[in-house]
Amino acid sequence: MRSTVLGVAGGSGAGKTTLVEGVVSRFGDRATVLWFDEYYHDLAHLDPADRATVNFDHPDSLDRGLMVEHLDGLMAGRAVDVPVYDFTTHTRTGRTRRVEPRPVVVVDGILVLAVPEVRRRLDLAVFVDAPEAVRLARRMDRDVAERGRTPESVRAQFAATVGPMHDRFVAPSGEHAHLRLDGTVDRAGNVATVVGAVDRFVDRGAVTPPS
């Protein structure tokens, strides 16, 4: 039996990754994760100044072909080697992360439901909502602490690309979700909802894949 594929989408800072970590923790070694953020194109061919001008919130910034290839591999029971991406230099490091097939494969990313070739492979699709002010505050905390950004640069990027691309691609993709969750409420309840939905799908195959 092939893996059940769960897709989790929503705006940057909406609470997707927190939800995914909770779900994976509940499933333990039954689940594995593909993070769409790991599939940004390698920008080593560009000068550092030019890399900073790339719109990382547009679907074209992602290596969708490689993501689909890896997802198909996991669904077929094969391990895959995911590129390790350096967000401070916007380049692939040359290292990889081995991902083993599991009964449940989770795909996390803001554009998971906006990319048809990924969406068609999902058995269950979840969209996490949160107000813009919450998403900006959370992104600020993450990018300053984990990616070496300044608060000013985070605000500028949010205004220039994150917000507009959310309105153009991310928010409309929520129409394809089987479940829409509030990313500002208690995480435990959302995790339980998603785990229950996955278990019901595994038991009965009762959910229609997103269009």
Residue 205: what pLDDT?
56
User: How many whole angstroms from its chain centre is CA 142?
Assistant: 15
Asked whether residue 150 is domain-assigned, the answer is yes
φ, ψ of residue 82 to 5 degrees: the values are -90, 135
Residues across the chain:
211
Asked whether residue 32 is domain-assigned, the answer is yes
Residue 207: what pLDDT?
47
- SS3 state of residue 80: strand
Asked whether residue 67 is domain-assigned, the answer is yes
Identify the CATH number of the domain in which residue 147 sits.
3.40.50.300
Residue 186: what pLDDT?
86
- pLDDT (tens place) for every residue of the chain, 211 residues total: 579 999 999 999 999 999 999 999 999 999 999 999 999 999 999 999 999 889 999 999 999 999 999 999 999 999 999 999 998 899 999 999 999 999 999 999 999 999 999 999 999 999 999 999 999 999 899 888 887 788 998 899 899 999 999 999 999 999 999 999 999 998 999 999 999 999 988 876 544 556 5
User: How many whole angstroms from its chain centre is CA 156?
Assistant: 22
Residue 6: what pLDDT?
97
Residue 88: what pLDDT?
87
What total of structural domains would you count in the chain?
1
Asked whether residue 126 is domain-assigned, the answer is yes
Asked whether residue 108 is domain-assigned, the answer is yes
Count CB atoms within 10 A of the CB of residue 19: 23
Asked whether residue 74 is domain-assigned, the answer is yes
pTM: 0.90
What DSSP letter does each residue of 111-172 carry, written as one string? TTTT-HHHHTT-SEEEEEE--HHHHHHHHHHHHHHHS---HHHHHHHIIIIIHHHIIIIIHH
Which structural domain range is residue 85 located in?
4-199
Asked whether residue 206 is domain-assigned, the answer is no
Residue 66: what pLDDT?
98
Asked whether residue 209 is domain-assigned, the answer is no
